[in-house]
A and B are shown apart, each in its own frame.
Chain A
Amino acid sequence: MIGIAYKTAQEMVFGNALHPVTTPSGIVIGGGAVIPEVNYTLPPMVINETTLPEVRLRYREMTRRILQRAVELRQEVLILEFEQLYELTQYPHWGAYVTSDIKEVMEEFTRTYGVKSALRVTIADIRDKERPPRMRSGEPMQTMLKAFDQCAAAGADILSIESTGGKELTDRALLDGDIEGLVYGLGVLAPNDMVYLWDHIVAIARKHGVIAGGDTACGFANTAMQLAHQRMLPKVLAAIVRLMAAPRSLVAIERGATGPLKDCAYENPILKAITGVPISMEGKTSACAHSSPYGNLTAAVCDLWSNESVQDVKLLSGYTPEVFTEMLIYDCRLMNTALRQNAGQMLRDLLVQSDHRTDIQSLVMDLDVCFETARRIKEAGTDSYARTLAATRWALEVLLQAQQNNVTEFSRSETRWLNHLSNAIQSLPETPDELRHRLKTEYNSLFIPAEYELWI
C-alpha cells in the first residue's frame, strides 16, 4: 500500500502535526497545542484613496483590541490573519501599509506584555475580476505577486491565498449541477494553475524568509456548501465537491507550502493526513461569516482554530473581533487542557460524533472518511485528474452507503439528485482529454486554455 503521513486516523489529533511549523517570532504551530487564529475585517465601507487613512486606523484599532483581550485572558500566543479585500491587493502598497500597521501593533504588545503573535496575510485573487480571466498573462497576476512581495517585506509571517484557477468553469458547472464540468475545473484547470501560482508564492516566501502557508478550495467547495445551505443546490452535490476539491489544494504543499494551511479549507484534514503539515480550521466560531453543518467536527484535528472572518461591529461586550478572539481562546483552552490530561483523543472523538451524522455534508467530513479519502488520493498516483476521480468516486460511495444504511436523512429531492450524480460519476472518462471533448460547448467561452497551458 502506498503510504501517507499518518498510519491511521487515530494517530491524528488537534494541536499536533507530524511536521510542525515555527513562525519567525518563535511560535510552533502543530507542536502540541492549538492556537487561536483571528481573522477580522472592515465594516461596510468604501475603500479608496480618501478612505485609506480610516482603513489603516481601523485595522490598527482592531488589532489593538484583539491583543488587549488576549492579554486580559492570559493568552500568550496568537495568530492574526489579514485577509485582503480586493482593493488592498489591487493596490499592493495599500495592503503593505496595513500589514505594516498591524505588525507594528503586534510588536508593541510583544514588548509591553510578552504576547507572541504571528501575522498571516492572505492576498485576494484579483484575476477573478475578468471573464474569462487571464490567469497568467494579465496584469492581475503581476499585481498579486507584487502584493505578496510587498506584504512579505512589510511584516507578513505567513503567506496564503484563496486561489480561483478553474472557478470560471466550476461556478457555471455548480449551478448546472454538472459533474463533468466540476471534475474538469477542479481536476485539470485548478491544479494546473496551482502549480504555476504556488511556485511563485513559495519563491517569494523564501526570498523574505517567511512561511508559505497554503491555499483553500473556498471558492469551489465553500461556494457549494453555501448554495446548499441556501437550498439552491442539493447537499449531496456539495458533499461530493468537498472531497473532489482536496487534490487541487494538495498541489500547494507539493510545490513547497508548509502550512499552516488556510482556515476555510475544510479539505485540510485530508491534506494533513497525506502530508503531516499543520492546519488551520474553522467551525462554530465562523458562524459570523457563514453557516456550516459541521461546527464541532472541524476542530477534530486542527492546529490553529479560526473564526474565518468577522466584520468590526460593536456588541455589548466589545467589538466583534475581540469577542471572537475570546471565543477562540476558550475553545483552544479546552482542547489544550484535554491534550495535557491525555484526553485529546476522547475530545476529538466527541467533536466528530457530535456532528458526523446530522447532515449529508457532515458524512464526508467524518475523520475516518477524510483519512480514507487521503489514502485513495495518494493511491491514485501523482496525476491530479486521477486523484480527483478517486476522491469523487469515494465521496459517492460514502453517500450511497449512508443512504442505504439510513445513517442520515435524504429527502426525496436529495435522493433524486444522488441517483443522478451516481450515473454521471460512473460514466466519467479515465483521461482529462476525453473529458475535455465531452464538456458542454457553452463552457468553451468561459476559460482560456492557454492560460492553463492547455492547447486543446
Chain B
Amino acid sequence: MEALLQAIYDGIIDGNKDQVTAKVQEALDNGLPPETILNQGMVAAMAEVGRLFEEGEYFVPEMLVAARAMQAGLALLKPKLVQADVKAAGKVVAGTVKGDLHDIGKNLVCMMLEGASFEIIDLGSDVSPERFVEAVQAYQADIVAMSALLTTTMPNMKVTIDALKAAGLRDKVKVMVGGAPVTPEFAREIGADGTAPDASQAVTLAKSLIGA
C-alpha cells in the first residue's frame, strides 16, 4: 500500500498523468480509503510541488503538469470521496474583477488551491460584483478570491466587497485579494481578510482563513 501511495505521489511530482490514474485505480481496487489516497498521495505531492516552486526548482509549466496529473487521478477518486462523505477543505469562488482580463495569476491560485483539496468555482475574468454575489449564494462558498492586475480595476475589489455586504453575505464568507498592484495595506483598506504574494502562499492564507 505504501508503494502505491508513493507511486501516486511520484507521478504527480513528475506530471505523469498515466501513472497517477493507473495507480489511483489500483489503490482503490486494493481497498485503500479514498481519503488516504487524496491526502497522503495527492495533496502531499502538490504541497511538495509548491515547495519546489518556492525554491525556484520548478516553474509554472511543471506545476501545471503536476496539477493536471492530480486532476486526472481526482476524477477517479471523486465519486468515492462523495460516497465516503469526505469534504473538500473549503469552497472558493474565484475570479478576476470587473474590467480586468488578466487571468494568469488567478488561474495559478485556483490550481494550487485545488491541489490542496479546495473545491474551486472559477468565474473567469472580467467578473462583475453581481456575479461574485450570485456565486457565493449559489455555492455557499467559504472564500471569495479576487484578482486584479490593473490599478484602474483594483477599486472593483472594494465594489465587490461592498456588494457582498449589501447582500448580507460578507460575514458568511472570507475574502482574499491578489495581483501585482495589491498590497496588504490595500487589502486592509478595502476590508478584505488577506492577501498573498504568490499562488503557493495563497494556499496557506486560504487554509488560515477557514481554519483548515
Contact = CB atoms under 8 A, between A and B. Distances in A.
Contact of A413 (B59, B104, B124): B59
A84 to B, nearest CB: 11
B58, B61, B154, B159: residue with the most chain A Cβ atoms closer than 10 Å: B61
Contact of A231 (B59, B104, B107, B124): B59
Interface in B85-141: 99, 101, 104, 107-108, 124, 126
B181 A44 contact: yes
A175 B66 CA distance: 13
A2 interface: no
A249 B81 CA distance: 51
B152 A411 contact: no
B152 A177 contact: no
Given A44-B181, A129-B101, A227-B104, A233 B152 contact: no
B64 A46 contact: no
A451 interface: no
Contacts, number: 60
Contacts of A44: 151-152, 154-155, 181
Contact of A232 (B59, B99, B152, B156): B59
B56 interface: yes
Contact of B156 (A46, A128, A175, A178): A46
B60 interface: yes
B171 interface: no
A41 B150 CA distance: 11
A233 B155 contact: no
Nearest to A126: B101
Interface in B30-64: 56-61, 64
Nearest to B54: A231
A144 B140 CA distance: 40
Given A44-B181, A129-B101, A171-B104, A234 B59 contact: yes
A175 B151 contact: no
Interface in A282-329: 311
A86 interface: yes
Interface residues of B, number: 23
Contacts of A413: 56-59
Contact of A85 (B108, B150, B159, B181): B150
A176 interface: yes
A178 B65 CA distance: 12
A87 interface: yes
Contacts of B64: 175-176
Nearest to B156: A46
Interface in A13-50: 41-47
A87 B181 CA distance: 19
Contacts of B154: 44
Contacts of A47: 152
Nearest to B58: A413
A417 interface: yes
Interface in A396-417: 411-413, 417
A47 B99 CA distance: 10
A171 to B, nearest CB: 7
A42 B152 contact: yes
Closest 7 CB pairs of A and B: A177-B61, A44-B151, A232-B60, A44-B154, A46-B155, A85-B152, A175-B60
Given A175-B64, A177-B61, 19 more contacts: A41-B151, A44-B151, A44-B152, A45-B152, A45-B155, A129-B101, A175-B61, A175-B107, A176-B64, A177-B59, A227-B60, A227-B104, A231-B56, A231-B59, A232-B60, A311-B151, A413-B56, A413-B59, A417-B59
Interface of A: 41-47, 85-87, 128-129, 131, 171, 175-178, 223, 227, 230-234, 311, 411-413, 417
